[in-house]
Structure 1
Amino acid sequence: MRISKMRYFFPIGTFLFLFLDGSVSQIFASSFFSPTRAVESRLILLWLVLAICYGEVEHLLLWAALAGLMFDLYFTGVLGIFTLLLPFMVYLTRNILTFFKPSFIVVLLIYLIDVTVLTALFYWVNVLIGFTSVSIVTFIGRTLGPTLAFNLASYVLLYWPLKRFFEIFR
């Protein structure tokens, strides 16, 4: 019986990408956040999407829930939002992927759909609990557009190294 190295590397990578989400936002805060723009880094989602597409990770929904809980504890201050949203995104991605064979373009489109859905649901929940009163038009122009652009660039830079990682340690 062979024990997969992914069993050890995936949790480390999950928390590394959680850390990177916060670090990138902190380092580039002056560029990411202004009166006309708010960019949200979704590197943890990229990690999960590529794990679904190219990795063989056990208990991925559980890992997504734990990553969401850590994200909520550290970044949002409201428990439950990402704890529920990240496993939902894993579920959604798995279901979308049943219709397609993973490739650079297919995974890119799935990732952009996931970023859009995650960011929109996060906005909607924040409107429901009264954390924001920004209109949907302002949200799309100020947050969703720049978030998609940043995460597209992140995807292009990280796709090949992460794909290779998941294929090696499968």
Structure 2
Amino acid sequence: MAFWQLTKLRVIYPVLLFLILFVDGTLMSSMGGLFTQFPWHILPTLTLGWLFLGVQFDVEKELPLWFYVVVVGVLFDMYYTGIFGTYTFAFIAAVAVMKQLRHILDERVLSGLFMYLIGLLIYLVISYVSGFVTGIANVSLTSFLLYEVLPTIVLNLTIAVVSYYPVWSFFQFLR
């Protein structure tokens, strides 16, 4: 592989990761009325989706994925929540489980979506548990699963399905 090809992925992936980090919050703030209509609370997790695509298409061979996971988690905590550690741990745990599942599952779309589903569930459960422990989240587990987890999974898996092949071809172009 030529040096310029390796450099393209090393530059474009983290730049898009940090851009998506801010698009994530912008999407939530601009469409918050739609995403948080009572009783629903839908979270677009584009940042976790981009990390999933990085795990699925094995970018760790060319760049330090764990460094970016930790940095994005810290930035997410500082910029969106102000509670340090919650989303850093959620991102790390979700990516770690997705990486382990990547060794078990094959590279087909449905296997990848299952891997993303498990990572997304871990991400959401960690954020719920930390909110419950700190007293921020005071909803029952049933309400959380029905009104937040289920619509969040539907939205994010739909985004993952729509973006899977375009991002795959984009990564092929970068390599």
Structures share fold, TM-score greater than 0.5: yes
Q: CA deviation at 1:76?
A: 1.3
Quote the residue 2:26 is aligned against: 23
Larger helix percent: 2
Quote the residue 2:164 is aligned against: 159
Q: Any gaps of 5 or more consecutive residues in structure 2?
A: none
Q: CA deviation at 1:117?
A: 1.3
SS at match of 1:137: helix
Q: Equivalent residues in 2 for 1:2-81 (5 A)?
A: 2=3, 4=6, 5-57=8-60, 58-81=63-86
Segments of 4+ moved more than 4 angstroms: none
Quote the residue 1:110 is aligned against: 115
Q: CA deviation at 1:55?
A: 3.8
Q: CA RMSD in A?
A: 1.4
Quote the residue 2:137 is aligned against: 132
Q: Identity of paired residues, percent?
A: 26
Alignment pair present for 1:94 and 2:95: no
TM-score by length of 2: 0.91
Cα separation, 2, equivalents of 1:136 and 1:97: 29
Q: Any gaps of 5 or more consecutive residues in structure 1?
A: none
Cα separation, 2, equivalents of 1:125 and 1:110: 23
TM-score by length of 1: 0.94
CA contact (8 A) 1:55 1:166 kept: no
CA contact (8 A) 2:40 2:147 kept: yes
